[in-house]
Structure 1
Amino acid sequence: MTVEVVLPRLYERDIDVLLQEELIFNEVVCDVFSSALGFDATLEISECSLSVVDGTGETDLLARFIVDGKSGVLLIENKIDAAFQPTQPERYRARATELAGTGQEAYCVLIAPAKYTEGNSAAAHFDARVSYEDVAQAINSQSTERAKHRAALLLRAVQQSKSSYIVIPAREVTTMWQRIYEIARTEFPLLQMKPPTDKGRNSWWVIFKGNLPSRITIDWKVKNGFLDLSFWNGARHRPTLSSRKPPGASLVTSGTTTMFRVSVQKPSKDWVELTDEQIRSTLEIAQQLLNFYNAHKYECDLHEQR
């Protein structure tokens, strides 16, 4: 009987586990890595660990191998579609160099969909690049139903990457977010802003969650000069035209979202050049919106979540 399998959305952790098993048990997959590294013989994996962390960061897979009677270590970074973290490739290289200093062979390897490495200069820091497509082909060559399924998982991740948004980090935008975060963390901790990751050029919507319940957020739309207390579809509390409004706010509806909107100082044409005082004054209003909600939430209509 043929069983229809619906393939899920995959995350890098899922692929890490699949790769660990294939490296340990599948000689054909090991041959793909050997070829990428320029080895004449197929390497044999003696140990493979997931998520190995040291003072320089995390290695997705750390595999110890033997080839031609010599032992060594592979430091493998796995990417589906996420951008590299700051200096991440350089830190892989530094870890490999440190291990090589102990007399071991050490190589860093990037595994990702083929299109990920196209034009990606950071990939040059790795000794070898292995594509999901090549590994899927190697797994599928075994011609078992299990192998076909595991190959399909990798190809599902390739397809997923084609429809994903890959952030191209913009240093000036990331720096601006970091400035906002530092002021929020030290002066407005109740906003509970999360530490920012790398940001692309179009990352101009800052979200504060504070102690707000599900489906309610405070949203700073920097380029538009708006600060919204947003009640998204499904929010337990939702204001109406008769509800008390925060000082200086208007009630706005967009689709299924209702917002208390306050206009804040709109940035200049280059919106990343906000001054600390502009950031601080906007965060003060964000704090006021949070305080308003906590003081007046029961004056809003109560909608049961479904």
Structure 2
Amino acid sequence: MTKDLCHIHKFQERDIDLLLAEELRINEKFAAWFISRVASGSLVVGPAFRTRVSVLEDGTEADVVACFHRADGGIHRVFVEDKISAPLMPEQLQRYQRRASAEHLRGESNSFSVVLFAPAAYGAVLPDGVVRLTFEEAATALEQSNDDDRTTYKAGFLRRALPLTSPASRDAHAADVEPFVADWWEAVYVMLGREFPGFFLPPKTRYPRGVYFAPRTNGMADYLRVDFKGHLGEVDLAVKNVNYPDLASALSGLHLPGSIIENGKSTAIRIGGLEKFVIADGIAVINTKVRAAYAAAAELLTFWKENRNRFDSLAR
């Protein structure tokens, strides 16, 4: 069983840049594996004699540029674009290729490789000549390069950098790294089942990391959104793309459960003045402050259901 030594959970592409630059420069076995993948059959030998990050030239920033010696005395340059989840910019990898070709024509290198380094699930169509390496296979190569805590940590670092792409994976992650958050929400769902049975739909993400989210009820129209802001003591029933005068006119003569407010491109009915809370307040607030906020959300949604014809006319 692989030891779990890395407990970092938030990653930027720059973090991957620095890790890769270090390993290509210092870790001889990993560098040899890397070169075997990106310059197969070449005369390139490792580790890199120079690595740099965020190298800008001709308006193109290369995340990592690694320079290797060749057995014939020349230089092989590797240009790496790292991605975690952000999409590639238009022709981003083609610009890498043009830059690498220009340096080759100027005699600054004798050969080159352009590499996309990203998770296996990262979707991208690569230009001809661009090599793809994944975080997962690099993590395995790191583990095989040395049997020590340092390389185990670096392999775990790469695996933890994989983006959480589904509600289920985000929930599993929350339950693993912040079990008190999962326990808090489970207690909330017990309260909801007792106090509001069947009223609120199960959320896509079961364990949100905060108390600002959008609960839903059965049959809820797409033009509607509930902004549940426990940390502010507010719950809004927002009607998308409807202005204040139109909503006020449509609901004229009704006893409103809250105040009409402008909310960006939407207008909302707000119940405010509730007691504020956050998850860190603990289980004790669930049957008091949290219940009151959900009661406000239920009141707003019930008001919408009872007057749906008026709301639907606005949406049309």
Question: TM-score band, normalised by the shorter chain?
Answer: 0.5 to 0.7
Q: Does 1:48 align with 2:45?
A: no
* SS of equivalent to 2:66: strand
1:230-269 alpha-carbon deviations (Å, 9 max, x no partner): 67332377779xxxx94333699xxxxx99588xxxxxxx
Q: Does 1:16 align with 2:6?
A: no
Shift of 1:229: 11
CA distance in 2 between partners of 1:113 and 1:260 (Å)? 46
Structure 1 pair 65–50 and aligned structure 2 pair: CA distance change class (3 A):
same
Structure 1 pair 16–10 and aligned structure 2 pair: CA distance change class (3 A):
farther
Question: Amino acid of the residue matched to residue 247 of structure 2?
Answer: A
Equivalent in 145, 150, 154 of residue 150 of structure 1: 154
1:247 maps to 245
1:196 maps to none
Q: Does 1:124 align with 2:121?
A: no
* SS of equivalent to 1:116: coil
CA distance in 2 between partners of 1:163 and 1:71 (Å)? 43
CA distance in 2 between partners of 1:137 and 1:70 (Å)? 30
2:120 maps to 114
Structure 1 pair 239–305 and aligned structure 2 pair: CA distance change class (3 A):
same
Number of aligned residue pairs? 208
TM-score, length basis structure 2: 0.52
Identical pairs, percent: 25
CA distance in 2 between partners of 1:34 and 1:4 (Å)? 27
Equivalent in 58, 61, 64 of residue 61 of structure 2: 58
Question: Amino acid of the residue matched to residue 233 of structure 1?
Answer: G
Structure 1 pair 225–18 and aligned structure 2 pair: CA distance change class (3 A):
same
Q: How does 1:145-294 map to 2 (within 5 A)?
A: 145-158=149-162, 160=163, 163=166, 224=222, 232-235=229-232, 246-249=244-247, 286=264
Shift of 1:62: 1.4
Question: Amino acid of the residue matched to residue 156 of structure 1?
Answer: R
Question: Amino acid of the residue matched to residue 136 of structure 1?
Answer: A
Q: Does 1:34 align with 2:35?
A: yes
* SS of equivalent to 1:94: helix
Structure 1 pair 84–150 and aligned structure 2 pair: CA distance change class (3 A):
same
Structure 1 pair 287–149 and aligned structure 2 pair: CA distance change class (3 A):
closer
Return the index of the structure with the highest Cα Rg. 2
Gaps of 5+ in 2: 169-211, 214-220, 238-242, 252-257, 279-316
CA distance in 1 between partners of 2:233 and 2:16 (Å)? 37
Shift of 1:124: 3.3
Structure 1 pair 4–132 and aligned structure 2 pair: CA distance change class (3 A):
closer
CA RMSD of aligned residues (A): 4.2
Structure 1 pair 288–34 and aligned structure 2 pair: CA distance change class (3 A):
closer
Shift of 1:128: 2.1
Answer yes or no: is the 8 Å Cα contact 2:227–2:236 preserved in 1.
Answer: no
Structure 1 pair 28–162 and aligned structure 2 pair: CA distance change class (3 A):
farther
